[in-house]
Amino acid sequence: MSNAAAEAAEVTEATKAASARVTAYIALGSNLGDASGDDGPIQQIKRALLELHSLPKTQRVRHSSLYQSPPAGHADQPDYINAVAEIRTQLTPGELLQELLKLEIRFGRRRLFRNAPRTLDLDLLLYDALVLHEPGLTLPHPRMHTRPFVLVPLLEIAPTIEIPGHGPIRTLQPAHDQSHLRPVKHQAASALLEGAA
């Protein structure tokens, strides 16, 4: 193969790699409104779903319904509004995590103490079938398989997905108490979700 042909092949492979997109799943949660007091948790989740579509090299594919769940860990706080979104991205796992952290900050997230109330919580659940253990990032998310407020919305949009190390989601979801998880049936939520679809 000539040098020119070899260089052309390298460019083609680089272009393919640059255009490759992986599927990732993001959990969203909120139990506080914004600083102005105008937007409550439902509106926060709606806005965050729109923002996910605006992340660099990323496209939001679909998202679940909204669910209301009691707080975990620190009980003296409002219930949460939760959802899960599926995205396609060219960002690396580390790059995607950094974009999610920046988005939390833009929404006014303050980490006052463990399990504190939050304006927006974004967790990277899955990045294709990647298993990763790095400082600050573990994939799959280490507690996702124990959380009904993650499993139920994820099952809604990805019923055949398998969680590496834990198996098919359909075998995990029934094992956890879902009695405190309620779909959000408020009319405003439906209208907001239409805008984020």
Exposed (0-12), middle (13-18) or buried (19+): which is 135, by Cβ within 10 Å? Answer: exposed
Catalytic machinery residues:
109, 118, 121, 123
Give 11's pLDDT tier (boundaries 50, 70, 90).
very low
Structure-model confidence comparison of residues 63 and 9, the more confident one: 63
In a domain, 8, yes or no: no
In a domain, 3, yes or no: no
If you average pLDDT over residues 95-101, what whole number do you get? Answer: 96
pLDDT tops 60 at residue 145: yes
Strand-pair partners of 143? none
In a domain, 69, yes or no: yes
Average pLDDT along the chain: 82
Total number of domains in the chain: 1
Compute the 3-state secondary structure of the chain and give helix, strand, coil in percent, each to the nearest 5: 35, 25, 40
Closest CA to 29 of 91, 75, 78: 78
- 104-140, pLDDT tens digit by residue? 988 886 655 455 577 899 999 999 999 999 999 999 9
Give 185's pLDDT tier (boundaries 50, 70, 90).
confident
**Residue for token digits 């950094």?**
98
In a domain, 196, yes or no: no
In a domain, 9, yes or no: no
pLDDT tops 80 at residue 144: yes
pLDDT tops 50 at residue 183: yes
| CA-to-CA separations, 171 to 65, 140, 179, 181, 185, in angstroms, rounded | 21, 16, 18, 18, 27
Structure-model confidence comparison of residues 173 and 82, the more confident one: 82
In a domain, 6, yes or no: no
In a domain, 12, yes or no: no
If you average pLDDT over residues 5-18, what whole number do you get? Answer: 45
Where residue 166 sits, what CATH number does that domain have?
3.30.70.560
Per DSSP, the three-state class of 164 is: coil
Structure-model confidence comparison of residues 190 and 50, the more confident one: 50
In a domain, 26, yes or no: yes
* Region of poorest pLDDT, from 11-15, 17-21, 110-114: 11-15
Which domain covers residue 134, as residue numbers?
A: 19-191
Task: Look at the alpha carbons of 156, 162, 165, 169 in this order and tell me if their dihedral is positive or negative.
Answer: positive
